[in-house]
Structures are given as structure tokens and as C-alpha cells.
Amino acid sequence: MLVNTKEMLKDAQKNGYAVPAFNVHNLETVQVITETANALGSPVILAATPGTFHYAGRDFIQSLAETAATRYAVPIALHLDHHERLKDIQESLRLGTKSVMIDASHHPFAQNVDIVREVVECAHAYGATVEAELGRLGGQEDDLVVDEADSYYTDPAAAQEFVERTGIDSLAVAIGTAHGLYQAEPRLDLDRLAEIHDRVDVPLVLHGASGISPAEVQKCIQLGCCKVNIATDLKIPFADALKSYFREHPEASDPRKYMEPAKQAMAAIVAEKIRMCKSDGRIPVEAQIS
């Protein structure tokens, strides 16, 4: 069955690794991510944005994740990524989702606290964990677009107060990463991350990890990031392989054939990111296929 992220992130925090959170969009992406995680013995988080749920349907995504969680022995969580409406969160909680992110980072601090606290009370009643964000990442995540001028870093002192007042289970921090493709080489504020880590007990979350070097990601893991979000780095090879197949086979019409190379291309990146997070081999590899 699907799990919440509390125990998996606490184990990652204790043992110096991170759990990868891969954005999913459809059957194929769920298959690739969970099959690869199971083969490598890694816990994994399937993250879905409001845009994904609008495209595929909350019940469909929920059912896909539940099927994967039944099939494989590794812990699998379905996580609501960058949700802003309590109504949407409640719908998924009722369906059985056990991990949610409420993103009220665009509001003033006090309002952010109030919104997050309400979600925490609601989600905890369902046995679900809550991630929230303080500070704002630039870039684009589906329909969420934040200009560089509107982005700002997480203040360590404010982070401590935020965690204490909201009761969240994990904190997404803004330290120089961004969503989507980077226009220039990112410069991460690791000193800021270290100070946040010293002040905050809950696991930290690194958003915008696509395009960050493995060495930089692993530095962030050493400084308390127990969940690493990856989206763009999966979408590009999937799309490129699909385009390449159609260029070579313009007559193709069978999705069972043209999806396969795209899935293989994505699987290679999923495996690479799992190893980057050092989450491979954390769970005994015993597939439970009925």
C-alpha cells in the first residue's frame, strides 16, 4: 500500500541519503519510476502537480500509484507537488494520498503560516505528511511561473519559526535552485542551507534538482536535504527518444512500440538519479508481483 513520507525521510535523515521524488504524468512514467526503484532497492516518491491531476484525473493517478505500491516491495509514496488549494488536497486525501505539499510561499509570512497550519491539521487527521515551502524558487513548474525578480531565498531564522508554528513534516528551501531549465549555471547558497539545517529538525527538501550536478546535490544531502525533486531531467530524454523513434519510423502508430524506447531512456536517468541520491540498496530487492 502507499505510505506517507515520514518514515522514509526520517531514515534518509538518519543515514545520510535522500529519497528521490520524480514527477509523474501518466501510466508510462509511473511504470518506469517504480520498476527502476524496485530493481535498485530504493524507496521512491511519485510527485504529481495540479497540472498532472487535471490532465490525468486524481482517481487515475491514485489508482496507478496504488497498483505500483501493491506490486513492489520498496516503499512508494504518492505526493501532491506544489498544491495551492485546500479543496484539491482534501480530494486526494479522501482518495488515500498520504503525502502532500501546500505551497503558500507567495503569501506573506503570517498568511503562509496560517494556510499551512490548516493543511497540517487536515492532513494529519488522515495520517498524511505535509511539506511546505518558505522562500520562492524561480522558473516554471507546470502552470506555476515565478520570475527571477520574484524569487527569494529562505531565511534561516524564519525557517525555524515557520516549522515550529506550522507543525510541518518537511521543509522545502530556496537556496538558488530553480524549476525547469537553467539559463545560467546555478550558484547554490550552501552556507545558508547549513544554517537552516542547524536550526531546523525536520527533513529538508531540494526542489529544482534537474540541471544541478551530482556533486552539488550530494553536498545538499550532506547538509540535510532528505528529499530531492526531479522533473525536467526525466521529461527531456523521454521526449527526445519518442521524437527520434518517429523520425526513424514515420509510419509508426502502435503506442506499445513507440513508447518503449522513451521508457528506456527515462529509466536510465531514473537509475542515475537514484544512485546520485544514494538511496539504492536501502530496501531488500524482492518484487511482489501477483
Q: Is the pLDDT of residue 75 over 70?
A: yes
Place of cell 508481483: 289
- Hey, which residues are catalytic here? 81
Does residue 230 have a known ligand-binding role?
A: yes
231 labeled binding residue: yes
Domain 6-231+269-277 has CATH 3.40.50.150: no
pLDDT of residue 284: 74
pLDDT at 141: 46
pLDDT given for residue 209 in this prediction? 79
Annotated binding residue 249:
no
- Residue 106 known to bind ligand: no
Please list, residue by residue across 219-236, b when 16 or more beta carbons sit within 10 angstroms of its beta carbon and e when fewer do. bbbebbbbbbbbbbbbbe
Confidence of residue 223 (pLDDT cuts 50, 70, 90): very high
Phi and psi angles of residue 228, each rounded to the nearest 5 degrees, phi first = -120, 120
The total number of residues shown for the chain amounts to 290
User: What is the helix (H) or strand (E) element at residue 160, kind and residue range?
Assistant: helix 156-166
Instruction: Please state, in angstroms and rounded to a whole number, the distance separating the CA atoms of residues 196 and 277.
Output: 20
Angle between helices 190-199 and 214-222 (to 10 degrees): 30
Q: Is 28 annotated as a binding residue?
A: no
CA distance 53 to 24: 10
Residue with cell 513492489: 72
Q: Is the pLDDT reported for residue 290 higher than 50?
A: no
pLDDT tens, position by position, 91-112 = 999 999 999 999 999 999 999 9
- Per-domain residue ranges for the chain? 6-231+269-277
Q: Do the annotations mark residue 54 as ligand-binding?
A: no
Q: Which three cell numbers stand for residue 231?
A: 522533473
Count the Cβ atoms, other than its own, within 10 Å of residue 36. Answer: 23
Q: What's the distance, CA 198 to chain centroid?
A: 23
| pLDDT confidence tier of residue 236, bands split at 50, 70 and 90 | very high
d(CA 232, CA 108): 29
Between these two residues, 140 and 166, which has the higher pLDDT value?
Answer: 166
Structure confidence at residue 150 (pLDDT): 35
> Hey, which residues does 20 pair with through a beta bridge?
228
Q: 90 with 123: CB under 8 angstroms?
A: no
3-state secondary structure 195-216: HHHHHCCCCEEECCCCCCCHHH
In 51-150, beta strands by DSSP E = 76-83, 99-102, 129-134, 138-141, 144-146
C-alpha–C-alpha distance, residues 262 and 268, integer Å: 10
83 is in an annotated binding site: no
Q: What is the pLDDT of residues 133-152, one digit of tens each?
A: 998 754 444 554 434 443 57
Helix (H, G, I), strand (E, B) or coil at 29: helix
pLDDT 10s digits, 39-66: 999 999 999 999 999 999 999 999 999 9
Q: Could you tell me how far CA 289 lies from the centroid of its own chain? A: 25
Q: Using the 8-state DSSP alphabet, how is residue 105 labeled?
A: T
Cβ atoms within 10 Å, residue 289:
8
262 — pLDDT class (breaks 50, 70, 90): very high
The model's pTM is: 0.91
